[in-house]
A and B are shown apart, each in its own frame.
Chain A
């Protein structure tokens, strides 16, 4: 009797396979000469991501399940693959020159980044709680290491990694416990089965299921940086190498939202709305209000990223296709603007240190007009000023909220964006309206980073002026979740 091999549908995981392969390749290349110079690894990683991006685009329109219904290859996963690849490619471009300058270039960096992307992709494509958990862990473990990558140069980096790890481990514990309870209640970890059983049993009736989902929400709340699970955010963002911060703030947040959407939209009942409503409101408000008080730009962006998670939760509350599509679109514009902002920080140096205090930016407008203009546009996009991408993102989200009848949440949301405009504009105040004091800010020459900024700027403007095609894609991407 011939041995039977399980059928592996490789095509369903093609982007993941590419990323995994390139990641392993990077580990291998790290060992061969030339030693000491690692820039080529970054280039290889970049090409790997572009290949995965291209693969995802080519696969657009596919809708298959594989690995015993544990992995889905649908538009939802592919859309997120695009976000991950774009964000990570930009981050790699930012890292190429900045890592050696900080004396922290080791080959593992690029491999870890790619493995993190693999984890994110698994989260977006998993249709089984276990796969989502595996993806989450793979991504998180890589990010913990990456956050501490400057451990020799800066104590803060170690602190960042340790905090991220400890709190992350807690969140993982909650997450896993949640899965266990759900499994106990339903006998399955498959999302479709779980949501079917949930619908039959009536939402929220079974306390075990309720608590299980609550614990999952805690885990996702941690990864999406939602209040009250946001405590790690400022320290981790501040201490991690800036490129890694950009990765944590954009791609990993996107991955967490991907998982959240997959898990919750199928299983969410009306009794979750109230809880999510409160979560969204708190996340927006706390993030924005605390961001006002920050003098450190990275911390400010950290709290602002909390607030942005809040806006996306507003759309999640509606549990409608428009809202979910709004989240996807928002994640994309948010990625461009945030990677751009962190990229600009990374390019500026004052007295040999990265310029992270807002006061360092005084007079930037006349000293480095192009960079200041880029940063200004990113800030304006984050506020949501038309005609930039951020405005369209907010527009879609609040449109979904109004349509769903969540008028008060929408009102609180837009008022929050007024509060947010205060601290974003404060950076602009420093750049254009105050005179510099002390040592001057230098701009580091870096071609890849400048290219990354240009791409981010293009994305920000393009998505603002002509958002319709991408939004339509997002709309078709969320349809698999509403079957």
Chain B
């Protein structure tokens, strides 16, 4: 079998993990450098994907196929289109940055940490590139374990509780999804005589409405827990807060996107009818998430918790965009996934940096940081504004597209969602004001050192992207456009056909 670029991108981190296992335990510097090197190499490889990607082609590109379990119709199929390309890039970039950010934060069991992060990266990438439902499920489920270890071993005080909660929540959803996958497989096989897990083939099946509803619900539950949508979100604050910085960055930046990606890649094309049918439910849950997440974020005394709840709110936006089921909404949702990965990832990084200095994350412990940490504060400001959705920065573009999309569907939803932007401004700016401005209230804050070169290097790529997407989003939108409009057409056509 010829090894293609996608296989390479997916499995280079795993190979790096194997290499790390073979290296001597005591050479910390070497271990860190190798891990970061592998992640960077992987990012460069994924950049090659971007440059060789044909934006005009709405279908799957870089497709690789190999037989795996022919008797059961399972094959190894990888491929990306405009929907997954940006998410792959996001995953490789954030993993490299997360490893760089953990340079000094992780000292305990360093080797295991690096191995875990690299294995997690392979799992995440696999989820985004797998086009065989069985393969997808394997990556989806296997990725749980590294994350479980990241939270449970290197986490904060309540790490064990948070880790187990994370696994139990996610597993509950995903095992039901497995059954739905099986049901889909047998249904398709019974209909056509061709038993296969191949996603592109399964998309051709037309399911009776009742079956669609059940299967949609099973898939949607798995994805809704991952997103997380209210009311399945309660694992998120625990997991985010207890995870080490690198874990939080990957969790917020990439793992949550698996849920929204799942809706887009599986629920919409496989169960278009049920998707339409459940649009109001999902939209209302998304709106509740937007507002509830924002309100709860407002009263958090802990920086990390605040960022965690803001994720609930932002992901509500993404879901609303996706279920507008039109070009603008989905494109906006997709872009907002990337935006959220960047800005929330950066927020977690910044919180981690200040935590490394002060060993607290309580907002009231800070204040007046502007004077001591000018570089930190200014970068923090950019990221805060991006998270609020200030025009000129990335968050605005995504939210705007989502609102344009949802406005065409139902004006009330757009109005309610817009209120979320206002609340976001309230909780983010209020937090920024209390933490950064004002007089220095605690002596411990007086002698903090500003960001090191390495820390600036971690944040710089994100800041560049934040501004870039905000000012000139075309290179990002253009790669997604063909695939998204194909998806929208496919869904509409299927619905029209059924009528």
Which chain B residues in 168-209 approach chain A with CB under 8 Å? 168, 171-172, 175-176, 178-179, 182-183, 185-186
B71 contacts which of A407, A426, A471 (Cβ < 8 Å)? A471
Chain A 405-425: CB-based contact to B (< 8 A → 1; otherwise 0):
001001100110110011001
Q: Contacts A415-B172, A421-B168, A433-B152 given: A366-B141 contact, CB under 8 Å?
A: no
For residue B70, CB closer than 8 A to chain A, the reply is: yes
Q: Is B159 an interface residue (CB 8 A)?
A: yes
A402 touching B176 in the complex, CB below 8 Å, given contacts A366-B109, A386-B138? no
Q: Are A433 and B163 in contact (CB under 8 A)?
A: yes
Q: Is A25 an interface residue (CB 8 A)?
A: no
- Do A414 and B178 contact each other (CB < 8 Å), given the known contacts A403-B186, A421-B167, A467-B69? yes
Give the docked Cα–Cα distance between A338 and B81 (Å). Answer: 42
Q: Which of B142-150, B298-306, B474-482 contacts A (4 or more CB under 8 A)?
A: B142-150
Knowing A386-B138, A414-B175, A467-B69, the reply to whether A422 touches B164 (Cβ < 8 A) is yes
Cβ < 8 Å to B, chain A residues 383-413? 385-387, 391, 395, 398-399, 402-403, 407, 410-411
- Measured in the bound complex, the distance between the Cα atoms of B168 and A429 in whole Å is 14
Structural contact, A468 and B148, CB atoms closer than 8 A: no
* In contact, B183 and A407 (Cβ under 8 angstroms): yes
- Distance in angstroms from B28 CB to nearest chain A CB is 16
Q: Give the chain B neighbours of A387 by CB distance below 8 A.
A: 138, 142
B385 to chain A, nearest CB (A): 38
Cβ of A402: which chain B residues have Cβ within 8 Å of it?
179, 182-183, 186
List residues of chain A with CB within 8 A of the CB of B185: 399
- Decide yes or no whether B278 CB sits under 8 A from chain A: no
Q: Kindly state whether residue A472 has any CB partner on chain B within 8 Å.
A: yes
Asked whether any CB of chain A lies closer than 8 Å to the CB of B68, the reply is yes
Closest beta carbon of chain A to B68's beta carbon, Å: 7
**A395 CA / B152 CA spacing, docked (Å):** 27
Q: What's the dominant secondary structure at chain A's contact region? A: helix
Question: Chain B residues with Cβ under 8 A from A411's Cβ?
Answer: 176, 179
Instruction: Output the least CB separation between B224 and chain A (Å).
Output: 16
Q: Are B149 and A432 neighbours in the complex by a CB distance under 8 Å?
A: yes
- Decide if A385 touches B144 in the complex (CB within 8 Å): yes
When A391-B141, A402-B182 are in contact, do A414 and B152 touch as well, CB less than 8 Å? no
Determine the chain B residues whose CB is within 8 A of the CB of A421 once the complex forms: 167-168, 171
Contact A425 B175 (CB under 8 A): no
Number of interface residues of A (CB under 8 A): 33
Q: Indicate if the CB atoms of B182 and A468 lie closer than 8 Å.
A: no
Q: Which residues of A contact B160 (CB under 8 A)?
A: 429, 433-434
B137 surroundings in chain A (CB, below 8 A): 386
In the bound complex, CA of A407 to CA of B217 (Å): 14
CB of A425 within 8 A of CB of B164, answer: yes
* Closest beta carbon of chain B to A422's beta carbon, Å: 6
- Shortest CB-to-CB span from A302 to chain B, Å, is 22
Q: Closest residue of chain A to B140, judged by CB?
A: A386
Also in contact, A432 and B152, with CB within 8 A (given A415-B172, A468-B69): yes
How near does chain B come to A124, taking the closest CB pair, in angstroms? Answer: 24
User: Which residues of chain A come closer than 8 Å to B183, judged between CB atoms?
Assistant: 402, 407
Contacts known (A399-B182, A468-B70); A429 close to B172, Cβ less than 8 A: no
Interface residue? B447 (CB, 8 A): no
Q: Which residues of B contact A380 (CB under 8 A)?
A: 145
Number of interface residues of B (CB under 8 A): 32
CB-CB under 8 A from A418, the residues of chain B are 168, 171-172, 175
Q: B179 to chain A: which residues have CB within 8 Å? A: 398, 402, 407, 410-411, 414
**Does B72 touch A at the CB level, under 8 Å?**
yes
B326 smallest CB distance to A (angstroms): 35
Given contacts A415-B172, A468-B71, are A395 and B178 in contact (CB under 8 A)? Answer: yes
Chain B, 72-112, contact with A by CB distance < 8 Å: what is the 0/1 string? Answer: 10000000000000000000000000000000000001000
Q: Which residues of B contact A422 (CB under 8 A)?
A: 164, 168
Q: Which of B71, B72, B153, B175 contacts A417 (CB 8 A)?
A: B175
In the complex, chain B residues whose CB is within 8 Å of the CB of A475 = 71
A428 to B112, CA, bound (A): 14
Interface string of B118-144 (1 = CB under 8 A from A): 000000000000000000011001101
Q: Which residue on A lies nearest to B70, using beta carbons? A: A468
Minimum CB–CB distance for A474 against chain B, Å: 11
Kindly report which residue of chain B lies nearest to residue A411, judged by CB atoms.
B179
User: Would A385 and B178 count as touching, CB distance under 8 A?
Assistant: no
Contact with B along A273-304 (1 / 0, CB 8 A): 00000000000000000000000000000000
Residue of A nearest to B175 (CB): A414
User: How far in angstroms is the closest Cβ of chain A from B229?
Assistant: 19
What's the minimum C-beta distance from A95 to chain B, rounded to whole angstroms?
Answer: 31
Give the residues in chain B near A434, CB-CB below 8 Å.
160
Q: In this complex, what residue of B is CB-closest to A429?
A: B160
Contact of B142 among A386, A395, A426 (CB under 8 A): A386
How many angstroms from the CA of A429 to the CA of B384 in the assembled complex?
36
Contact of B153 among A410, A414, A426, A432 (CB under 8 A): A432
CA separation between A426 and B70, bound complex, in Å?
36
Bound form: Cα–Cα A432–B138 in Å:
24
The one of A398, A407, A433 that contacts B178, using a Cβ cutoff of 8 Å: A398
Query: What is the chain A residue whose CB lies nearest that of B144?
Result: A385
B86 to chain A, nearest CB (A): 26
Cα separation A141 to B215 with both chains bound (whole Å): 50
Q: Are A385 and B141 in contact (CB under 8 A)?
A: yes
Q: How far is the CA of A434 from the CA of B164 in the complex (A)?
A: 14
Query: How far is A371 from B68 in the complex, measured between Cα atoms in Å?
Result: 31
Residues from chain B with a CB closer than 8 A to the CB of A429 are 152, 160, 163-164
Q: Which of B109, B141, B167, B186 contacts A425 (CB 8 A)?
A: B167
User: Once the chains bind, are A414 and B141 in contact (CB under 8 Å)?
Assistant: no
A357 → B minimal CB distance (Å): 18
Give A432 to B146 CA distance when docked, in angstroms. 13
In Å, the complex CA distance between A434 and B152 comes to 10
With the chains together, A208 CA to B51 CA distance in Å?
Answer: 76
* CB-defined contacts of B149 to chain A, threshold 8 Å: 432
Neighbouring B residues of A425 by C-beta, 8 Å? 148, 164, 167
Closest CB in chain B relative to A421 CB, distance in Å: 6
A162-175 contact mask (Cβ, 8 Å, vs B): 1 or 0: 00000000000000
User: Contacts A391-B141, A407-B183: A468 and B68 contacting too (C-beta < 8 A)?
Assistant: yes
Q: How far is the CA of A366 from the CA of B168 in the complex (A)?
A: 25
Chain A positions within 8 Å of B186 at CB level: 399, 402-403
Q: Within the assembled complex, what's the spacing in Å between the Cα atoms of A434 and B159?
A: 11
Cα distance A415–B176 in the bound complex, in angstroms: 8
- The complex places the Cα of A386 from the Cα of B134 at a distance, in Å, of 10
B148: chain A residues within 8 A (beta carbon): 425
Cα separation A223 to B9 with both chains bound (whole Å): 49
12 sampled A-B residue pairs with Cβ under 8 A: A385-B145, A386-B138, A386-B141, A399-B185, A411-B179, A414-B179, A417-B175, A425-B148, A425-B164, A428-B152, A468-B68, A471-B69
- Extra 13 A-B pairs, beta carbons < 8 Å, given A398-B182, A433-B159: A366-B109, A385-B141, A386-B141, A395-B178, A415-B176, A418-B172, A421-B168, A429-B152, A429-B164, A433-B163, A434-B160, A467-B69, A471-B72
Task: Across the A-B interface, give the 6 residue pairs with the lowest CB-CB distance, nearest first.
Answer: A414-B175, A468-B69, A386-B138, A402-B182, A433-B152, A418-B171
Which A residues lie at the B interface, using CB under 8 A?
A: 365-366, 380, 385-387, 391, 395, 398-399, 402-403, 407, 410-411, 414-415, 417-418, 421-422, 425-426, 428-429, 432-434, 467-468, 471-472, 475
Interface residues of B (CB under 8 A from A): 68-72, 109, 137-138, 141-142, 144-145, 148-149, 152-153, 159-160, 163-164, 167-168, 171-172, 175-176, 178-179, 182-183, 185-186
